[in-house]
Amino acid sequence: MADHPMMSSSNAGTVVSEAVLTQILTQLESLTISNQVLQAKVDALSSAGRPSAPVAVPINQTSSPAVTINGSFPSGSPPMTTFGLSPPATVLQRPPAQPAPVSQDREKVLYPQRVILTTYPDQTGIRPVPLNWGAQDPKVRGPVVPSRLPASIKLRNAIGAHSGSYSIYRALAIALGNLNPTHKPSYANTEPPVAIPPQPAWFDPRKIVSFDPWGHLVPQIWAEQIEAGLDIRPSIAVTKAHIKLSELDEAARKGTIKVDGTLVIKSRPILNADYTESDVDPGVELACSKAAVEPVWFLPGVAERFKISEGLLRRALFEDTGGMYPELITRPDIKVFLPPIGNLTVYIFGKPEYMSDTSKELTLRVHDECNGSDVFGSDICTCKPYLIFAIEECIRTAQRGGVGVVVYFRKEGRALGEVTKYLVYNLRKRGGDSADKYFKSTEMIAGVKDMRFQALMPDVLHWLGIQKIDNMISMSDMKYNAIVSSGIPILKRYDIPDHLIPPDSRVEIDAKIAAGYFSSTKAITQEDLAKTVGRAWEETEH
């Protein structure tokens, strides 16, 4: 009898080949997840009709009092409690408020069950979908599932919600009745038009810890589980675009960037009011590839990157977000957290496959958001001129046969936020805007001069397959040190040319150079800083 195709031909016994065994295990895992989804749906249907009797919230059954449904404490109880890790599921009845009838009816439809404040790993029915961060096979790695929908809530393996800070708008849309929370997205024709293939760093659980490297391939990899009803969503999207910037139009007119018809393309003619073509120069457009990336934190890796314990990281995230995510404390078995923050966008100029080709020249700028300058052209800092200069350098590199990359992080005001930044502006302009007071002004208001913490920043470079950087368009010592310490060498650094520095931003640049930022031409002492003074309010009409 001939050997069965699933048997090894090299052995007399019935030994299953490794490839077939992997296929069987993958199919078994898929069936297990499908069964879990079905069981979760049955559980949800079974509990939907149960009465919602008032239930107290057990916090720590040995030492802390129960919190009642109206938030009050028993007589003599302390005003603070601590979370324990062993109580059963923590539930809370809806508060006895009397909303408008329409809202009340919608609430009953949207949330027929009692409020589940948190869960515990030993709670009945809790069975998270396996998630093995850093596994080479994505099916073995497993999908990221933070969903609290009835079919997914017991299967979740992540804390938080997709879309980062925009998850709040999603919640509002659901509350207003504009969005069905069970809407099932159609991912047809959404696959990336540009390949970002797996890189060795994807399989190292220490190299990429701040987002899901498989996030752009979710609809393709886990199609069966999504079809079975498991709420799995992409956390990365990759697309193509044309960029249109007036500064680049001017650069093309001056000849500092060349129109090549491929990367730099002449724009279509401008139309007059009567729809005839104008003879005004329409400028240029840049062809590029780009990727939007949402944050997905692997907590053990993030803690290791910052050289703190995972327990401390979880406690800080819980306490200093107003207790927003109790499961950071009660679910130590869940290792992935989707924080409510913005993350990053990647812009690629030239062929994306060149990013992982060490024989090709690569130019990079890592840029942290500055809405006031990037969008509205404020002259108090160099953010926009430096960004435009970097894009031009990326174009010139691509036209030389290399590739240019700009990574744009949402870290407004050094991650202190725009409100804090504007308060600092007020202090600077009222207190004498000199370079020797630049960082001190920020510390007086924020308590720290910078909260960008660049330790997580290199993750995106490893995701793209970047192994060396020929030209780094940045003066930041923090960015340089983070990239180099992650294992990516930087061969050359560029500071911003003097002619691109707005006069009022000289305070910022000189203060940064004195603090250790890179400069190829200028050394600044502390004594020099007092001589660098910005414009006072009195010098300009407001």
Q: Pick the residue with more confidence: 204 or 69? A: 204
Separation CA 318–CA 284 (nearest Å): 48
The stretch 373-396 carries a mean pLDDT of 94
Residue 403 forms beta bridges with which residues? 362
Q: Which one is predicted more confidently, 130 or 542?
A: 130
Q: Express as a percent the part of the chain with pLDDT over 70.
A: 80
Closest alpha carbon to 460 in 373, 355, 387, 535: 355
Find out whether 460 and 238 touch, Cβ atoms under 8 Å: no
With H, G, I as helix, E, B as strand and everything else as coil, classify residue 228. Answer: helix
CA–CA gap between residue 132 and residue 235 (Å, rounded): 17
Question: Whole-model pTM?
Answer: 0.81
Q: Name the one residue in this structure whose structure tokens are 């024989």.
A: 359
Q: What's at 520, amino acid-wise? A: S
How confident is the model over 410-433, as pLDDT tens digits? 999 988 999 999 998 888 888 788
Angstrom distance (rounded) from CA 343 to CA 296? 9
Mean pLDDT for the stretch of residues 125-138:
95
Q: Residue 133: pLDDT band by 50, 70, 90 thresholds?
A: very high
pLDDT given for residue 137 in this prediction:
96
Distance of CA 403 to the CA centre of its chain: 24
pLDDT bucket at 68, cuts 50 / 70 / 90: very low
In the residue annotation, 452 being an active-site residue is answered as yes
Residue ranges of the domains in the chain?
105-234+296-338, 240-295+339-540
Look over the chain and give the mean of its residue pLDDT values, rounded to a whole number: 83
Which of 433 and 169 is assigned the larger pLDDT?
169
Contacts of 252 (CB under 8 A, 6+ apart): 258, 259, 264, 283, 284
The active-site residue out of 368, 374, 436, 450 is 450
Mean pLDDT value across residues 123-131: 93
Bridge partner list, 365: 406
Q: What is the mean pLDDT of residues 119-147?
A: 94
Catalytic residue selected from 141, 156, 365, 452: 452
Cβ-contact 295, 339 below 8 angstroms: yes
pLDDT tens figures, 244-257: 999 999 999 999 99
DSSP-based helix, strand, coil % in the chain, nearest 5 = 35, 15, 50
3-state secondary structure 315-353: HHHHHCCCCCCCHHHHCCCCCEEECCCCCEEEEEECCHH
pLDDT digits (tens, 9 = 90+) for 457-489: 999 999 999 999 999 999 999 999 999 999 999
317 has pLDDT over 90: yes
Q: How far apart are CA 288 and CA 238, in angstroms?
A: 11
- The pLDDT tens digits of the residues spanning 491-507 come to 999 999 888 988 888 88
pLDDT bin (cut points 50, 70, 90) of residue 167 is very high
- At residue 124, does pLDDT exceed 90? no
Per-residue pLDDT, averaged over 355-365, amounts to: 98
450 a catalytic residue = yes
Buried b or exposed e, range 31-65, using 16+ CB within 10 angstroms: eebbebbeebeebbeeeeeeeeeebebbbeeeebb
CATH class of the domain whose range is 240-295+339-540: alpha beta
- Reported as a pLDDT band with limits 50, 70 and 90, residue 152 is confident
Q: Count CB-CB contacts under 10 A for residue 372.
A: 20
